[in-house]
Amino acid sequence: MSVNMAADELEKRRKELIARLLELDERFEREMRARGFDPAQAENVALTSELARLYAAREEVRAELEELATQNDAER
């Protein structure tokens, strides 16, 4: 695989992850507000199982984005 193809694939994956993260953030905030919580309180409240799953999914996507950024920096 050429360097340009690898870079293109990384950028494509990064854009997919950003879109997924935005979707998860919006859903998490909506669900938090529906339960009467301020989304900023996520670190300080006991989350229901559904909210905990959304929170964990957001963290996984963030970690993958961070990993991609690290890979991209290493290739430069």
| pLDDT tens per residue, range 7-49 | 888 899 999 999 999 999 999 999 999 999 999 988 898 999 9
- HSE-up (13 A, CA, CB side) for residue 5: 2
pLDDT of residue 6: 78
- With left for phi above 0 and alpha for psi between -120 and 50, is residue 36 left, alpha or beta? left
Q: What is the pTM of this model?
A: 0.83
CB 18 within 8 A of CB 51: no
* pLDDT tens per residue, range 38-73: 999 888 989 999 999 999 999 999 999 999 888 777
Distance from C-alpha of 17 to C-alpha of 30, rounded to nearest angstrom:
20
